[in-house]
Structure 1
Amino acid sequence: MTRSTITTGTTTGTATATRYDRRMYALMNRREAAALYATAARRRAVVGAHVLMTLASIAVWLLMVLDADALWPAFVLLALVLPWCVATGAINAATRGLLELRGRMLDERQLAERDRVRALAHRITTGILLIAAAVMGAVTWFADVRFEGLAFAALFSALVIHWVMPLWVAGIRAEDDEPDLYGDPVAE
């Protein structure tokens, strides 16, 4: 570990930053693909595409589990991986690594924003799970449909949505970049 001065956001602080921390910070702050997320509309489009690809991946994976003999879902899943990763990278770049960087690499404003994003994502996920439980309960109660066979699929879907919801919320909440007036924020 080395001791270095790190500039993040608008403040400069002294922190213990490893080579991994500096590399991730540099990676999350690259601007080559900035055209993908330069405006709020483009960020919403990338997040929307990411949501659709995530839901499609869940559906295809569940088809693979339910019909182990079918080979086509595996190819569809493989085809979804690359664009899903590109969209994930674009969202992470738009948020400048808000959720991926360690806390010591973020300033106070970024730490507070990360806490707000996680709290909002938690509330959204809780609402989705509440609605899903209520719908499944109502269908079971009134229509006498049993969901025992789908319990794993429902839990897996909930886990995936819980996992990526903070990324989606951060991508939607990200603001447009301000012009770079002070140069490269990473002290080498």
Structure 2
Amino acid sequence: MTTTRLTRYDRSMLRLMNDRRGQAWYATAARRRLAVAAHVTLTVAIGALMTHFFLAKGELLWPVAVMAVLLLPWMVATGVINGATRGLLELREHVLDERQSAERSRVLARAHRMTTLLLAAAAIALLITGGVEGDAPKAYAAPLLIAVLVVHWVMPLWVAGLLAQDEPADDEAMEAGQHN
């Protein structure tokens, strides 16, 4: 951390992001990958339902109800990933130490490269589809661009969740294991 004075918000977020009570949810790499996979799946499902709702003519409100239901597990998965990364992306820069700041930069750079490739793939898909059909698929352009924007927004969280390391073992647990 720098010598910048922490605000009450900074202290409460630091406390929240370092709260280890939910550690069982992300203690292993497999659990962190599962949390990221669940988050990706829920994000895609919510996006698909939103797209369906806006593209379907005269559709009932069932997609909105399902989106509302899916939002709670999506928020839980977000919290699990944030806990696993100790708030790497949620804490303000001046709260992070040098290692965390460097890790945040690596995560953001990798996420940026991935979303750049995704945006290029989306543009190519629209161009190819437009070339095959003789006209650009205007109805799908906006939902596709919104989907890419959402992925751009959450990709750093997914990358950070996948790159998070296991917590170091407690000295007491290691000593107990050596004596048995």
CA apart distance, 1:143: 3.7
Distance in 1 (alpha carbons) for counterparts of 2:143 and 2:68: 20
Mapped pair 1:49 → 2:47 = no
Distance in 1 (alpha carbons) for counterparts of 2:48 and 2:59: 16
CA apart distance, 1:146: 2.8
Q: Greater shift after overlay, 143-152 or 119-128?
A: 143-152
1:96-135 equivalent positions in 2, closer than 5 A? 96-135=86-125
Mapped pair 1:19 → 2:18 = no
The equivalent residue for 2:177 is: none
What is the letter of the counterpart of residue 95 of structure 2?
Answer: M
Indicate the SS of the match to 1:17. Answer: coil
Distance in 2 (alpha carbons) for counterparts of 1:61 and 1:27: 31
Once the two structures are superposed, residues 79-131 of structure 1 have per-residue CA deviations (whole angstroms, 9 ceiling, x without a partner) of 10100000000000000000000011100110010000000000000111111
| TM-score normalised over the length of structure 1 | 0.86
The equivalent residue for 2:164 is: 174
Distance in 1 (alpha carbons) for counterparts of 2:35 and 2:135: 37
Checking the alignment, whether the CA contact within 8 Å between 2:39 and 2:74 is kept in structure 1 is yes
What is the letter of the counterpart of residue 167 of structure 2?
Answer: D
Q: 1:180 to 1:19 in 2, by over 3 A?
A: farther
Once the two structures are superposed, residues 39-73 of structure 1 have per-residue CA deviations (whole angstroms, 9 ceiling, x without a partner) of 00110010000000001000111112123541110
Once the two structures are superposed, residues 26-50 of structure 1 have per-residue CA deviations (whole angstroms, 9 ceiling, x without a partner) of 0011111111110001100100000
Gaps of 5+ in 2: 172-180
Distance in 2 (alpha carbons) for counterparts of 1:14 and 1:130: 41
What is the letter of the counterpart of residue 40 of structure 1?
Answer: A
Distance in 1 (alpha carbons) for counterparts of 2:4 and 2:136: 55
The equivalent residue for 1:29 is: 18
CA apart distance, 1:179: 3.5
RMSD between aligned alpha carbons? 1.5
Q: Greater shift after overlay, 138-147 or 151-160?
A: 138-147
- What is the aligned residue count? 170
| TM-score normalised over the length of structure 2 | 0.89
Between Structure 1 and Structure 2, which shows a larger proportion of helix residues? Answer: 2
The equivalent residue for 2:175 is: none
The equivalent residue for 1:139 is: 129
Gaps of 5+ in 1: 1-7, 182-188
